[in-house]
Amino acid sequence: MIVPSMNFQELVNEIVADRPAVYIKAGYFTSTLRREAIKTKKIVRKWLEYTSPRKNTWLIESRYYHKNPTFTTTIYFNTGHGINAMLAVKGENNVLKLVHYTSHFLQRYNERFIKAECSTISTLKHFLSNNAMAAVQPVSKESTDFHIRFNDGFGFGGGEIVGDRNNYVLVYHVKTFISDDMTFESQKKEIQSAIEIYNEHCEKQWKKKFDINKAITV
């Protein structure tokens, strides 16, 4: 179980140990949406707030469209300085990637995009629902800092490798959020590559499969 006294290595180790059971639960939960997806011929989307056997709290978002079931698993926890969340995804060569949304990022997303009073968990759900894809662009070859393009705007942060050469996790710390209307022309030039990558990915991998705006939530 994640506790505020853990250091970052211990935190990552706990997530790594917890994820296999959560992944199994997410797969089973997603399969329960099949009948509704076939019946409606639309994306069926549903949330599950899940407490794992290791007593960690996760958000599972499942989507089912014909024969294309997908899900995301995001752990959230209180560090003592606010709620943080980490989206856990498998990358190339089966390397685990953790996208870390800091409490500051979630606060800024609420202030600058949702613009309404709601809980941190509701803010997190709103963000994850609207921003299923992202494109990361390093600031430079020498830096671990990056720009990240979402559907709703941009994030800024830095990356790190946790572990050793034979067993490691990539962590992307997304530290703050700005909406499209907040970007300056100079920033747009800097993050143009991330925008282009994001748009290309959407066109090839997402929009041809289904329109997220036509999803139904059950």
- 135, 150 Cβ separation under 8 angstroms: no
Phi-psi region at 44: left, alpha or beta (left = phi > 0; alpha = psi -120 to 50): beta
- Report pLDDT digits (tens) over 89-139: 987 778 899 999 999 999 999 999 999 999 999 999 999 999 877 778 777
Coil, strand or helix at 74: strand
Closest CA relative to residue 156, chosen from 168, 148, 165: 148
**Other C-beta atoms within 10 Å of 176: how many?**
15
Residue 2 lies in a domain: no
Residue 75 lies in a domain: yes
Full domain range(s) for residue 48: 8-217
pLDDT for the residue 211: 46
Which tokens in the block code for residue 204? 């090839």
Residue 66 to residues 35, 48, 71, 78, 117: CA-CA distances in angstroms?
9, 20, 14, 37, 36
Rounded average pLDDT per 10-residue block, the chain, 218 residues: 93 95 96 90 92 97 87 94 93 86 96 94 95 79 83 90 86 92 62 60 51 45
pLDDT for the residue 147: 83
pLDDT for the residue 199: 63
pLDDT for the residue 5: 92
pLDDT for the residue 154: 87
Residue 1 lies in a domain: no
Residue 123 lies in a domain: yes
pLDDT for the residue 144: 86
- 97, 91 Cβ separation under 8 angstroms: yes
pLDDT for the residue 208: 45
Residue 201 lies in a domain: yes
* pTM summary value: 0.85
Residue 3 lies in a domain: no
Residue 39 lies in a domain: yes
pLDDT for the residue 184: 57
Provide the domain count of the chain: 1
